Amino acid sequence: MNSGLEVERGSISLRRAMAIALALFAAIGLIALTVFVTNSNRQRDDALAAQRKSFEIIILVRSLETQMNRAETALGRYVMAGGEAENPGLLFVDEWRRAGLSIARLREVTRDDEAQAALAARLQSIYRERGQLLSTAALHIRYDQKMQGLRAYYDASQHATANGVPGVVDLIVRNENRLLDQRIRAASQTLEQTNQAAKLLLAFAVVILTVSAALGFSAIQSLAERRAARKDADEVARRAQELEEAVAERTLELRQANEALRAEANEREAAESQLRQAQKMDAVGQLTGGIAHDFNNMLAVVIGGLELAKRRIADGGKDAARHIDNAMEGASRAAALTRRLLAFARAEPLLPEPVSPDTLIEGMADLLDRTIGERIKVRTELAADECKVWVDRHQLENALLNLAVNARDAMENGGTLTVSTGSRRLADGEIGGAPAGDYVTISVSDTGCGMEPQVLDRVFEPFFTTKPVGKGTGLGLSQIFGFVRQSQGEIAIESEPGRGTTVTVLLPRHMGADQAVHADLPVGRLVQAQPERSAAILVVEDDPRVLNATVEALTELGHRPIACPSPDRALELLARNADVRLILTDVVMPGITGPELIASIRPVRPDVAVLFVTGYAGEIDGAAAFAGHDVLRKPFTMNALAHAVDAALAKSSGSPLGGATAAAA
């Protein structure tokens, strides 16, 4: 009995020991399998996250390529429309800005991959370079330079960067596809490991059940442990399901928040567009008010002078000449304002010639003194060493005079105005968009009130002015900016409140020899030529009133004018009047322009002299289209007409005077 009890006890102890060993074995195996499954799940999650990242990069670069293509397409429509439609221009700006945001996001998500980060940086470099090329075309169109805009857009389409984006995008996508294949294989391996873990778990269960069949108590405990393990696994699965639902809910919230932000951004863009339109209308109203004020003042002088002259003539002519002179002065001022508007619109052709800034400033000394007044001291510091620039003398004098007047207005209590010249060599892009080379500098400095940074940032904007309504149109500095850019130069401005302002004009140094230039002969320019009388002159003018006035003026000067009211009749009248020595023609006419008319006449009458008369040249490139012929700007006096005709006739007869006349101040 005792021995049986001892055997039973021994058996129980053995089963207990085996059960304990089995429990330990089961626990160790369960722990190992749990760790293995946990690692497999983590590796699977990492692989899925890496796949999502690859998909995000691929979507980003494809979206970037689409945005840049859409931006360039919009710019193309904007350029082809010549700036007439604003929507393509705005679409170009928006799409190009979104492309910049996509590149920034791409650089952020690829910063942990050296190869992809390098490609993203390369893509950003191409984006910036391409943006500069396309912005140049947009800027030309914005300032109504249609041909330059088309040329810049064509150059941008032929630039090496045009095919750079697709190549880099394909490299990034190819790299990500390679990485994606690796990550898919890694995910497959992780899944295979999970399946192996499940098989091991099943084998372990079989072993447990087999041993449990022999060891009831151990089997019961093993089953209880398995039930507990299964319950834990279900709890883990339930928690995982809850976590996935929470992630999905949070993702939905983020998507809704993103849509709300996009809607808010669209509303903000619409509000900004309305604000820009309102500001544009305010600027147009300010411009209209300033022009109306100035023109009404000038017309008051003209009408008043003519009425007084008419009364004086009726009374015997006393003081009539003085009133007529006042009316002429008012008309001349109105013509000068019209020229400023045309120069601001870049519709007046430039007539460049070699000009010495030092000589020009010395010749303007008296004019500057009279304009600035006695309260302001004018100093000149000329150190250009007789360097010359290739510019329109008349426009350069107007630019310097405008700068001097602005400086005078900034020194209400008096001060010093300094006009200085010099030379400087610039590196590429050192100042604005000026290319590398030698430049002549002309600086106008004052000791006035200076400008705040927010004002300094807008001084070159069209219609912007700090003067009260009626005191200025805001065309001065923007006109100077347009003239300098047309002359292939650059302009810089430095100012500090209470310390004064310095405006520096940089113009490319002219290295060529002095040569014949176009003549711009306004009121008051005296031409040293022997006057010729009774010359047959063909007058081509589509406006009947201007045609009659010009014919009468030429008749009064002793010439024999032949009126031609349409350019289509010019060849017929030339054939009927073989003694015509000079063709005096308007520039802008319906159907055919003055330069085109002269080009068609040249094969028939290569010996005839030419004098262009214009008040507006439109899109005609004066430097090329006028082909060395003199240009007389409207309105003109009989004195200016006489000198212009004599100069043109002298040029055709081989006199040294031909081509020696220069543009007047």
The per-residue pLDDT for range 234-272, each reduced to its tens digit, is 899 999 999 989 999 889 989 999 999 999 888 888 887
Residue whose tokens read 């996001």: 105
Q: Are 608 and 652 in contact (CB under 8 A)?
A: yes
The rounded mean pLDDT for the chain is: 76
At 231, which amino acid appears? K
DSSP character for 513? P
Question: Which range among 44-53, 81-90, 355-364 shows the weakest confidence by mean pLDDT?
Answer: 81-90
Residue 107 or residue 641, greater confidence? 641
CB 133 within 8 Å of CB 79: no
CB 542 within 8 A of CB 565: yes
Mean pLDDT computed over 94-120: 82
Output the pLDDT for position 536.
93
According to the model, what pLDDT value does residue 664 have? 31
Mean pLDDT to the nearest integer, 306-320: 70
Tokens of 159: 């630039």
pLDDT value of position 519: 40
Token pair of 281 as six digits: 């209308």
Residue 531, judged by CB atoms within 10 A of its CB (0-12, 13-18, 19+), counts as middle
Q: Using 50, 70 and 90 to split pLDDT, how confident is the model at 169?
A: confident
Query: What's the CA gap between 45 and 381, in Å, rounded?
Result: 75
User: Which string of DSSP letters, residue by residue, matches 201-266?
Assistant: HHHHHHHHHHHHHH-HHHHHHHHHHHHHHHHHHHHHHHHHHHHHHHHHHHHHHHHHHHHHHHHHHH
How many residues in the chain?
665
Question: Can you give the pLDDT at residue 467?
Answer: 57
Contact 95, 67 (CB under 8 A): yes
Measured distance CA(601)–CA(586) in Å, rounded: 15
Q: Go through 345-354 and write b for each residue having 16 or more CB atoms within 10 A of its CB, e for each that does not.
A: ebebbbbbbb
- Residue 436 contacts residue 256 (beta carbons within 8 Å): no
Torsion angle in degrees (nearest 10) through CA of 149, 151, 154, 155: -110
CATH topology of domain 353-508: Heat Shock Protein 90 (3.30.565)
The larger pLDDT score, comparing residue 85 to residue 67, is at 67
Which superfamily does CATH assign the domain made up of 536-652 to? Response regulator (3.40.50.2300)
- Is the per-residue pLDDT at 221 higher than 90? no
Mean pLDDT of 322-349: 65
Cβ contacts of 652 within 8 Å, gap of 6 or more: 581, 582, 607, 608, 609, 658
CA angle 235, 239, 241 (to 5 degrees): 115
Q: Is the distance from CB of 473 to CB of 530 less than 8 angstroms?
A: no
pLDDT band of 527, cuts 50, 70, 90 = very low
Pick the closest to residue 128 from 153, 104, 152, 112 (CA basis). 104
What distance in Å separates the CA atoms of residue 294 and residue 339, rounded to the nearest whole number?
A: 13
pLDDT of 118 > 90? The answer is: no
**How far apart, in Å, are the Cα atoms of 251 and each of 105, 255, 257, 555?**
19, 6, 10, 88
Which residues, in sequence order, are CB contacts of 365 under 8 Å at separation 6+? 378, 380
610, pLDDT greater than 90: yes
Least confident of 8-12, 56-60, 281-285: 8-12
CA distance 441 to 589: 39
Angle of CA points 255, 261, 267, to nearest 5°: 140
Least confident of 360-374, 572-586, 651-665: 651-665
Asked whether residue 391 carries a pLDDT value surpassing 60, the answer given is: yes
Considering only 93-107, 253-267, 421-435, 470-484, which range has the smallest mean pLDDT? 470-484
pLDDT band at residue 129 under the 50/70/90 scheme: confident
Q: How many CB atoms lie within 10 A of CB 110?
A: 24
Q: What is the mean pLDDT of residues 583-611?
A: 89
| C-alpha pair distances (Å), 612 with each of 515, 584, 641 | 20, 6, 11
Write phi, then psi, for 159 (nearest 5 degrees): -70, 155
pLDDT at 331: 74
Task: State the burial class of residue 134 (Cβ atoms within 10 Å of its Cβ: 0-12, 13-18, 19+).
Answer: buried
Q: Domain limits of the chain? A: 2-199, 305-344, 353-508, 536-652
Higher-pLDDT residue of 301 and 645 is: 645
CATH topology of domain 2-199: Four Helix Bundle (Hemerythrin (Met), subunit A) (1.20.120)
pLDDT at 660: 31
Whether 384 contacts 358, CB under 8 Å: yes
- Helices H, strands E: what count in the chain? 17, 12
Answer whether residue 379 shows pLDDT above 80.
yes
Residue 659 has pLDDT above 50, yes or no: no
For residue 14, is pLDDT > 70? no
**Three-state secondary-structure class, residue 52:** helix
- pLDDT of 350 > 90? The answer is no
- State the average pLDDT over residues 135-139: 78
For residue 569, the model assigns a pLDDT of 92
